[in-house]
Amino acid sequence: MPAAPSTTDARRIAVLAPDVADRIAAGEVVERPASVVKELVENALDAGATVIEVEVREGGRALIRVSDDGHGMDRTNAELAVARHATSKIRDAEDLVGVRSFGFRGEALPAIGSVSHLTIESATADGAGVALEVSGGTSRGAREHARSRGTTVTVASLFFNTPARQKFLRGARSEWRAISEMLTTLALVRRDVRFAVTHDGKEQMRLPVADDLRTRVVALWGADTGERLVAVDDVQGPIRVSGLVERPSDVGSAGRRIFVTVNGRAVRDTGVVRAAEAAYRSTIPSGVRPTLLLEVELPGGEVDVNVHPAKAEVRFRDRWTVERAVERAVRRALGTEDAAASVGYVRSFVPDDPAAVRPLGVALGVETLRQGVAGAPAPLFDAVPAPSPASPAEADASVPDAGAPADEQILVPPLTQFHRTYITFERPDALVMIDQHAAHERVLYERFMEALQGGRAPSQRLLFPLTLHLTPAESEAFESNRDVFAALGYEAEAFGGQSVLVHAVPAPHPRFDAERCLRDSLAALTGDRAPGSHGRHERLAATVACKAAIKGGDLLAPEEMRALYVALARTTLPAHDVHGRATILQLSWDELDRRFGRR
């Protein structure tokens, strides 16, 4: 064991020698080969590069070479680039606020040079080229070197002079994986740049310039991944949230990916991720987490990027507002037509103007509701009157949308029920199928949640009260949630011991089994001891909606199908039921033709 320093030495303050300070700086900047690649590629991007080539050997332990076509450096700037506290990216303290460059610390190159053999070759558009070598922190001076405009930085034998650091590096495969993930992140951020990456002489990545995030995602991970993602684009005040999120029906079908940028800088932010995931409530099963690729833009003064040495985290002036904007943006995206499940590629129903993103309910059908209202059998949803049976032709056309303003008319195509389970209709580019149980479940869930948030669901008074004998746990659950059941449409009272007398029940449709629904709802609450929990309310609303909804196998009259269609179109998330299953499936005509051998 080494001897402890003397009391006098421990109290003495001394300025560290430059080589020791450089080694400490290297420890902050150069954690592993991926850190080196990140610093060099970010420098290339800040230098205006449009093409970046990365060569790696043995996971970066043996060699890292980054070449770019940026504006380059002359001799003076190349020598300053390896000096500590030198940078071209800021000039005074005010520049630190809202800085948009990837880095600015002025420590990366000297820190890397202190633990490797570093070579810089660079040239400006109108100047002579220069080459500079730094080995273990010692510069050998600059010399003339002929080359085209841009910069190439080569890092060889990383940590050759710090065996302790080298010992903690992982195997070549693990280090390469970290480099690949980091380069993928930068490629997603800078889609205007061409990337070419090789590892041990094999090409691993070749990415052309991409017009948008989806195009870059397809180039990185394939068309299947790109088709599983729904576009996000929403503005709330000064905050814009854009990107791609996974369609709820596809969540869990492949590996999860998370990518978040703030003002063009990739960051880790659990708050933003949590807010985006919150938008998926009632659309995916608990514990399943979606892929999220989100870009947040806000004024530079509203975010501090200087809270992490590697600029991997940020601090928002008003975090609640940012997270609320993220949740709203994702929630709105999940309510659009593109969020519906599809088999084969279905063209977006959105017009040529990409800003005109329509809710799914507005784009489901083709015929506007125009008809009169009177005298038809009771529909599933009392908010949507059934059609007048004036004539068979009119009865087949549409039903009135009396509950919606004129500018919110729902479009209803001719509907057909198959297998007493699916409601189908066709569009110009796809055959569309609606699962009647899942659709009704979504409608009821949103109505019940509205009731729990300050209203009361409609109910039907029973001619003869219903007596239920409950277990002790069920009785306790009922007493703890009496007000919740009342909001959902149940009017009940204790009736001696553990019995309950039910006077009124919800009336979602004539086939509703009120007793079974109440028992199943109490069973779902049994064991839950979190009074007032919002999550519990959602679960209860979901349970009641599931039990109250029409079932697969129920034969629906034409007016009932229309009513269900219109009610579904008015929901905020029509494409998903409360368990994460799809309510709507689109089968493209191209896919159908392919299955029949027509293509």
- Output the 3-class SS for 219-270: HHHCHHHHHCEEEEEEEECCEEEEEEEECHHHCCCCCCCEEEEECCEECCCH
At residue 495 the predicted structure's pLDDT band, cuts being 50, 70 and 90, is: confident
Q: Check whether residue 278 and residue 373 sit in a common domain.
A: no
Q: Check whether residue 142 and residue 238 sit in a common domain.
A: no
Q: What average pLDDT does range 357-370 have in this prediction?
A: 41
Q: Is 428 helix (H, G, I), strand (E, B) or coil?
A: coil
| Residue 357 scores a pLDDT above 70 | no
Q: Where are the alpha helices (DSSP H) in 82-119?
A: 108-113
More confident of the two residues 363 and 41: 41
Q: Check whether residue 544 and residue 558 sit in a common domain.
A: no
What pLDDT score was predicted for residue 181?
95
Q: Check whether residue 158 and residue 218 sit in a common domain.
A: no
At residue 569 the predicted structure's pLDDT band, cuts being 50, 70 and 90, is: confident
User: Most confidently modeled of 163-172, 287-296, 537-546?
Assistant: 287-296
Q: What average pLDDT does range 534-546 have in this prediction?
A: 77
Q: What average pLDDT does range 398-405 have in this prediction?
A: 37
At residue 353 the predicted structure's pLDDT band, cuts being 50, 70 and 90, is: very low
258-308: per-residue pLDDT in tens? 999 999 989 999 999 999 999 998 888 777 889 999 999 999 888 887 655
Question: For 171-207, what is the HEC assignment?
Answer: CHHHHHHHHHHHHHHHHHHCCCCEEEEEECCEEEEEE
Q: Check whether residue 395 and residue 276 sit in a common domain.
A: no
Name residues whose C-beta falls within 8 Å of residue 281's C-beta, 6 or more positions apart in sequence: 538
127-147: per-residue pLDDT in tens? 789 999 999 888 888 888 889
Contacts by 186-189, CB closer than 8 A, 24 or more apart: 186/38, 186/41, 186/42, 186/45, 186/266, 187/216, 187/220, 188/213, 188/216, 188/217, 188/220, 188/259, 188/261, 188/266, 188/293, 189/261, 189/264, 189/265, 189/266
Q: Is the CB of residue 200 less than 8 Å from the CB of residue 258? A: no
What pLDDT score was predicted for residue 298?
94
Burial degree of 299 (CB within 10 A; 0-12, 13-18, 19+)? exposed
Q: Is 496 helix (H, G, I), strand (E, B) or coil?
A: coil
> Which residue is listed with tokens 């669901």?
457
Interior angle at CA 446, CA 452 and CA 489, nearest 5: 45
More confident of the two residues 125 and 409: 125
Q: Check whether residue 40 and residue 182 sit in a common domain.
A: yes
Interior angle at CA 141, CA 136 and CA 146, nearest 5: 115
More confident of the two residues 231 and 397: 231
What pLDDT score was predicted for residue 141?
82
Residue 192 lies in domain: 18-207
More confident of the two residues 107 and 225: 225
Q: Check whether residue 127 and residue 36 sit in a common domain.
A: yes
What pLDDT score was predicted for residue 497?
76
| Residue 211 scores a pLDDT above 90 | yes
Q: Is the CB of residue 71 less than 8 Å from the CB of residue 47? A: yes
Task: Give a yes or no: residue 452 inside a domain.
Answer: no
Residue 399 belongs to domain with CATH number: 3.30.1540.20
What pLDDT score was predicted for residue 304?
83
Among residues of the chain, what percentage have pLDDT more than 90?
36
Residue after which a domain boundary falls, among 334, 358, 373: 334
| Residue 52 scores a pLDDT above 90 | yes
At residue 385 the predicted structure's pLDDT band, cuts being 50, 70 and 90, is: very low
| Residue 394 scores a pLDDT above 90 | no
What pLDDT score was predicted for residue 349?
35
User: Most confidently modeled of 51-55, 112-116, 530-534?
Assistant: 51-55
Residue 309 belongs to domain with CATH number: 3.30.230.10
Is pTM beyond 0.75? Reply is no
Q: Check whether residue 97 and residue 151 sit in a common domain.
A: yes
Q: How far is CA 356 from CA 120, 232, 351, in A?
A: 49, 12, 7
What pLDDT score was predicted for residue 536?
67
Among residues of the chain, what percentage have pLDDT more than 70?
77
> What gap in Å lies between CA 528 and CA 534, rounded to an integer?
12
> What gap in Å lies between CA 369 and CA 387, rounded to an integer?
10
More confident of the two residues 96 and 383: 96
> Which residue is listed with tokens 């659009």?
336
At residue 415 the predicted structure's pLDDT band, cuts being 50, 70 and 90, is: very high
At residue 165 the predicted structure's pLDDT band, cuts being 50, 70 and 90, is: confident
Q: What average pLDDT does range 492-516 have in this prediction?
A: 82
Contacts by 307-311, CB closer than 8 A, 24 or more apart: 309/28, 309/29, 310/29, 310/35, 310/38, 311/102, 311/103, 311/265, 311/267
> What gap in Å lies between CA 225 and CA 255, rounded to an integer?
10
At residue 86 the predicted structure's pLDDT band, cuts being 50, 70 and 90, is: low
Q: Check whether residue 47 and residue 164 sit in a common domain.
A: yes
Task: Give a yes or no: residue 425 inside a domain.
Answer: yes
Residue 347: both structure tokens together: 């063209």
447-470: per-residue pLDDT in tens? 888 888 877 777 888 888 888 888
What pLDDT score was predicted for residue 403?
39
Residue after which a domain boundary falls, among 165, 186, 207: 207
User: Most confidently modeled of 184-198, 288-302, 366-380?
Assistant: 184-198
Task: Give a yes or no: residue 443 inside a domain.
Answer: no
Task: Give a yes or no: residue 4 inside a domain.
Answer: no
Q: Which amino acid is at 348?
A: S
Q: Check whether residue 48 and residue 129 sit in a common domain.
A: yes
> What gap in Å lies between CA 201 and CA 566, rounded to an integer?
59
What pLDDT score was predicted for residue 16?
57
Task: Give a yes or no: residue 444 inside a domain.
Answer: no
Nearest to 103 by CA among 193, 36, 24, 20: 36
Burial degree of 170 (CB within 10 A; 0-12, 13-18, 19+)? middle
Q: What average pLDDT does range 179-205 have in this prediction?
A: 96
What pLDDT score was predicted for residue 83?
80
Q: How far is CA 51 from CA 44, 54, 156, 187, in A?
A: 9, 10, 22, 11
Residue after which a domain boundary falls, among 312, 334, 356: 334
Q: What average pLDDT does range 84-91 have in this prediction?
A: 56
What average pLDDT does the chain have? Answer: 79
Residue 124 belongs to domain with CATH number: 3.30.565.10
Rg (CA), the chain: 31
Residue 511 belongs to domain with CATH number: 3.30.1370.100
Interior angle at CA 429, CA 428 and CA 435, nearest 5: 100
| Residue 111 scores a pLDDT above 80 | yes
Q: Check whether residue 403 and residue 423 sit in a common domain.
A: yes
> What gap in Å lies between CA 347 and CA 278, rounded to an integer?
28
User: Most confidently modeled of 94-103, 198-207, 424-433?
Assistant: 198-207
| Residue 375 scores a pLDDT above 60 | no
Helix (H) or strand (E) holding 297: strand 292-297
| Residue 407 scores a pLDDT above 60 | no
What pLDDT score was predicted for residue 3?
55
247-268: per-residue pLDDT in tens? 888 887 777 899 999 999 899 9
Task: Give a yes or no: residue 449 inside a domain.
Answer: no
More confident of the two residues 569 and 368: 569
Q: What's the structural domain count of the chain?
A: 4
More confident of the two residues 98 and 546: 546
Residue 427: both structure tokens together: 């569009």
Q: Check whether residue 164 and residue 269 sit in a common domain.
A: no
Task: Give a yes or no: residue 32 inside a domain.
Answer: yes
| Residue 25 scores a pLDDT above 60 | no
Q: What average pLDDT does range 560-575 have in this prediction?
A: 89
Task: Give a yes or no: residue 517 inside a domain.
Answer: yes
| Residue 388 scores a pLDDT above 80 | no
